[in-house]
Amino acid sequence: MKNIAILLAAGKSIRMGMGFNKTLIEVEGKPLLWYSLKVLEQCELINEIMLIVQRDIAEYVKINIVDKHGFGKVKKIVEGGNERQFSVYNGLFAINEADVIVVHDGARPLITESMVVDVITAAYEYGSSTVGVPLKDTVKMVDGNNLVKYTPDRNSMWIIQTPQAFRFDILKTAHEKAIEDGFIATDDCALVERIGGTVKIVEGNYRNIKVTTPEDLVVLEALIRI
């Protein structure tokens, strides 16, 4: 088994409004990116980590995060693309050989080793897997005028998170097809779904938040201290 994690940290972080990549923001004395790296480094099922970052911060990340904290599983740092999907694509095609690929957003620092193990295990069985949590709120489907059309059954709806895991050949084929068709999705599972692949959801944790706005940092700090 060879399992490689693609850790995404190449976003523009516009909604954070700080003028630099949000994964470099320090929370409780450590960069946001450190938290995901620590879990992936310690997970026995992860053989290698590939970091996807913007070109202008690649050297800084290598020296001040990877080398400083001894993340030895980081074998490559690859330049990200203009979209999240293209960043995954760049990482995917910098890999020569793997059985399963784990894709994780560096803006979700509160993953656990059990989440990583669960999606990898499910990917070997089903081909593709993602962490998710059942939807708590009622959802309304609306028209262009924000008039309610109907209320879907929330019992069949899940909030999808990362990490996500895929057999290497499935994810590569899904990305190639998306590039060919000019199709853009917000996560890799959607690319696999559109080529007919099966995606297994494994239940994660509501603590696994994505840091997008300054308000999320307040929540994150509180969760870390619990």
End-to-end Cα spacing for the chain: 35
pLDDT in the model for residue 189: 98
At 107, give phi and psi (nearest 5°). -80, 0
The CA distance from 215 to 116, in Å, is 26
Token pair for 188: 């890799």
- Per the CB < 8 A criterion, the answer to whether 7 and 65 are in contact is no
What pTM, to 2 d.p., does this model score?
A: 0.94
> Residue 52: its pLDDT value, please?
96
The span from the CA of 202 to the CA of 102, in Å, is: 14
Domain ranges of the chain: 3-225
Are the C-beta atoms of residues 129 and 164 closer than 8 Å to each other?
Answer: yes
Q: What's the pLDDT at 193?
A: 98
SS3 category, 174: helix
Look at residues 166, 40, 6, 44 and name the one whose alpha carbon lies nearest to residue 112: 40
Give residues with Cβ within 8 angstroms of 12, minimum separation 6: none
Rounded CA-CA distance 95/169 in Å is: 11
- What would the pLDDT profile of 129-148 be if each residue is shown by its tens digit? 999 999 999 999 999 999 99
Distance CA 46, CA 63 (A): 22
State both tokens at 117: 């193990």
pLDDT, one tens digit for every residue, the chain (226 residues): 999 999 999 876 545 555 568 889 999 999 999 999 999 999 999 999 999 999 989 999 999 999 999 999 999 999 999 899 999 999 999 999 999 999 999 999 999 999 999 999 999 999 999 999 999 999 999 999 999 999 999 999 999 999 999 999 999 999 999 999 999 999 999 999 999 999 999 999 999 999 988 899 999 999 998 8
Instruction: List the CATH code of the domain at 3-225.
Output: 3.90.550.10
